[in-house]
Amino acid sequence: MHNPVIDILNDVYEQCRPDTAGAVADYIPELSRVDPDSFGICLATTDGFVYEIGNVGTEFTIQSISKPFTYGLALADRGVAAVAARIDVEPSGEPFNEISLDPDTERPRNPMINAGAIAAAGLVVGDSAEHRFERVRQCYSRYAGRQLAVDEAVYSSEAVTGHRNRAIGHMLRSFGVVDDADAAVDLYFRQCSLIVTGRDLAAMAVTLANNGRHPLTGELALAPELVERVLSVMTTCGMYDAAGAWVTSVGLPAKSGVGGGVLAVLPGQLGIAVHSPRLDEHGNSVRGVQACGELSRRLELHFL
Ligand code: DON
């Protein structure tokens, strides 16, 4: 049967495909090995439909798109008040890797920049590093509806080059925001190295849209009252120092990663994922931002 959503997906894909602006991330050396031309769009609805075009089965690492999911796990593990005592919810207007702490509160400004994400990783409960990582992996797998695995090459590549994140971790330790800097940073590197596809990210997005429950497996990944908080910080902080432009043009809670993924959520309705590895100066996928803007306009998704 003819479906207008598929037509729009095709149009947006063809419209964005010629744009080769931006550059693949190479500051984590292993990330530069991806195919820069890979491009896929996947849209999943809370009533269980999935629409897709392009390379939606291509594997890449989740990178910063992990941040809202670990933040959600930290909220579930520790409670909202305990997490808020260590991580604020204010947009920073700074690049994702800024070595920053709010001088007044002595907390990271939000959980979407690296400082806040490393602090959130430090709050995940577990008996050992392996147990904490396994809990993170299982948590993301519930959102995706399948078991996710680590890209060991990307993990090692970031572990040997991630001095800036280590500096952030030790700054957080010195202010008492994390208890064990090396453990928090290592967990953060591992979570960033989990492998996903466009289809996985669309499932993760639609699970957030569906109040924390995967529409097809029926599994609860996050309590509904915590979903609201996660989507709120995604709205104000998910696209870093481009958050204002994003909210204005796309109008959806979202998160990007330097692996080239972008995920956006229309609460109650649908999740969108785009994968295209060339990034803009903010570390956001060029075609990802463009495709989400076009989809939002054509499907009238701007919810604000
Ligand atoms: O910490 C880093 O630099 C990477 N593991 C993740 C950064 C990232 O994805 C930023 N987002 N666009």
User: Tokens for 70?
Assistant: 């670990």
Numbers of helices and strands, H then E, in the chain: 12, 7
Judge whether 240 counts as a catalytic residue.
yes
- Mean pLDDT in the chain? 97
What pLDDT was estimated at residue 93?
Answer: 87
How far, in Å, is the centroid of ligand 1 from the Cα of 178?
A: 19
Give residue for tokens 């591992």: 190
Find the 3 Cα to ligand 1 centroid distance in Å: 36
Question: Which member of 71, 240, 262, 285 is catalytic?
Answer: 240
Mean pLDDT of 174-195: 98
Distance in angstroms (rounded) separating the CA atoms of residues 77 and 71 = 10
pLDDT at 246: 95
Q: What is the mean pLDDT of residues 101-115?
A: 96
Supply the ipTM of this predicted assembly: 0.99
Residue 229: name the closest of 118, 76, 46 by CA. Answer: 76
Instruction: Give the model's pLDDT for residue 1.
Output: 64
Going by C-beta distance under 8 Å and a sequence separation of 6 or more, which residues neighbour residue 136? 69, 70, 73, 121, 124, 187, 190, 191
Residue 3 pLDDT grade (very low, low, confident, very high; cuts 50, 70, 90):
confident
Taking Cα atoms as reference points, which of 261, 266, 251 lies closest to residue 297? 251
Average pLDDT over residues 279-297: 97
**Over pLDDT 90: what percentage of the chain?**
96
Write out pLDDT tens, residues 235-266: 999 998 899 999 999 999 999 999 999 999 99
Map out the domains of the chain with their CATH numbers.
4-299 (3.40.710.10)
Who contacts 9 (Cβ-Cβ below 8 Å, separation ≥6)?
A: 41, 43, 51, 52, 53, 295
Q: Is the minimum distance from the CB of 110 to ligand 1 under 6 angstroms?
A: no
